[in-house]
């Protein structure tokens, strides 16, 4: 389907929806539409003859970049960028603008600027990046706390593991002592048995000695039984300590892996912060 729309209709649509202003080659306003005047806080009649510098921040108006921009426009070079300008009441606004040289008989006769006010959009973007950066910083701080707690827990688990090893060594030493006690009990039992034999040979005169020998054997038997019971109990304790140590090793390794994961997460949050800062700087 062919649609024929004449140029005046197109120009009318552009004027109705975009901010447009025209300058002579020296930078003075020669025409402006209502949209541009309204965006800058002026009446259209106030702008005629006003110099372009009036809309700029003082530091930009006095810069070499400003002179270069206008020199390029006079030479027929178009200019497009996101720019910052100042309204009548001193408010700073952000515009997406295109400066286009207008030719008349092979030379630049005027400069047309078409702009869109993107101040609110820029504010929302800036606010979003600020919120994102704040969130990333808060997340980084939270991961720091979790990482510190995790590292502290790992340290405590390792200390507990070390202490359980010391307890196991101490119990092993006690087992050695019970082995000595058992040997002494065996020797005492043998000594009591020998004494009983000698007392029997001595007859009536050795009866009192036989009583002592029997007591020695009883004590030896009791000591051996107690030593055996202690050894069994110590063996059970060592078994429990070994099981606990293995569990501690497993938990410690898992905590170490968690700490590494948290460290990687912290790096990711820090990268988000850096990226957001770069994004905010480029806006």
- Residue by residue, DSSP assigns 223-268 as HHHHHHHHHHHHHHHHHHHHHHHHHHHHHHHHHHHHHHHHHHHHHH
* Terminal CA-CA length for the chain: 42
Residue 216, both tokens: 């020695």
Sign of CA dihedral 7, 12, 15, 18: negative
Where do the domains of the chain lie? 7-117, 125-282
**Lookup: tokens for 89:** 């009441």
Phi, psi of 116 (to 5 degrees): -130, 130
CB proximity list for 200: less than 8 A, separation 6 or greater: 206, 210
The correct answer on CATH 1.10.10.10 for the domain covering 7-117 is no
Selection from 155, 167, 174 nearest residue 245 by Cα:
167
Q: What is the pLDDT of residue 184?
A: 62
Rounded to whole angstroms, the Cα distance separating 93 from 84 reads: 6
- pTM of this prediction? 0.53
- Scanning the structure block, which residue is given the tokens 């510098």? 53
Top-level CATH class of 125-282? mainly alpha
Q: How far apart are CA 267 and CA 275, in angstroms?
A: 12
Between CA 21 and CA 14 the distance in angstroms is: 12
Beta bridge partners of 21: 32, 113
Please count the helices (runs of H) and the strands (runs of E) in the chain. 7, 5
Question: CA 230, 236, 239: angle at the middle one, nearest 5?
Answer: 140
Residues sharing a CB contact under 8 Å with residue 48, sequence separation 6 or more, in sequence order: 29, 30, 31, 32
Same fold, 7-117 and 125-282: no
- 115, 96 Cβ separation under 8 angstroms: yes
pLDDT tens, per residue, the chain with 283 residues: 566 666 777 778 877 889 999 999 999 999 999 999 999 999 999 999 999 999 999 999 999 999 999 999 999 999 999 999 999 999 999 999 999 999 998 899 999 999 999 999 888 877 877 777 777 777 777 677 766 777 777 677 677 667 667 766 766 666 666 665 566 656 655 655 665 566 566 666 555 555 555 666 566 566 666 666 666 776 776 676 666 667 767 766 776 776 676 677 677 667 777 776 666 666 5
Residue 28 CB coordination number (10 Å):
15
* pLDDT (0 to 100) of residue 68: 97
Which residue is associated with the tokens 């541009």?
Answer: 36
How far apart, in whole angstroms, are the C-alpha atoms of residue 79 and residue 72?
Answer: 8
């Amino acid at each position: 389907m062919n649609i024929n729309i004449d140029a005046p209709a197109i120009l009318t649509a552009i004027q109705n929806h975009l901010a447009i202003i025209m300058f002579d080659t020296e930078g003075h306003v020669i025409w402006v539409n209502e949209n541009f005047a309204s965006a800058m806080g002026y009446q259209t009649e106030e702008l005629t003859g006003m110099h372009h510098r009036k809309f700029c921040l003082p530091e930009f108006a006095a810069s070499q970049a400003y002179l270069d921009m206008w020199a390029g426009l006079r030479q027929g070079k178009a200019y497009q960028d996101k720019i910052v300008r100042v309204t009548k009441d001193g408010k700073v606004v952000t515009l997406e603008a295109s400066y286009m040289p207008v030719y008349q008989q092979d030379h630049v006769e005027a400069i047309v600027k078409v702009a869109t006010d993107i101040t609110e959009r820029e504010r929302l973007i800036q606010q979003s990046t600020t919120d994102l950066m704040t969130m990333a910083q808060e997340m980084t701080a939270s991961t720091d706390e979790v990482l510190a707690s995790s590292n502290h827990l790992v340290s405590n688990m390792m200390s507990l593991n070390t202490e359980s090893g010391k307890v196991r060594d101490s119990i092993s030493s006690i087992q050695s002592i019970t082995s000595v006690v058992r040997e002494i009990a065996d020797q005492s039992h043998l000594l009591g048995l020998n004494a009983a034999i000698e007392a029997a040979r001595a007859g009536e005169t050795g009866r009192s000695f036989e009583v002592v020998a029997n007591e020695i054997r009883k004590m030896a038997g009791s000591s051996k039984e107690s030593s055996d019971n202690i050894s069994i109990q110590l063996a059970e304790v060592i078994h429990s300590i070994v099981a606990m140590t293995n569990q501690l090793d497993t938990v410690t390794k898992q905590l170490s892996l968690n700490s590494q994961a948290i460290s990687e997460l912290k790096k990711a949050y820090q990268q988000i912060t850096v990226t957001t800062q770069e994004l905010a700087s480029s806006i």
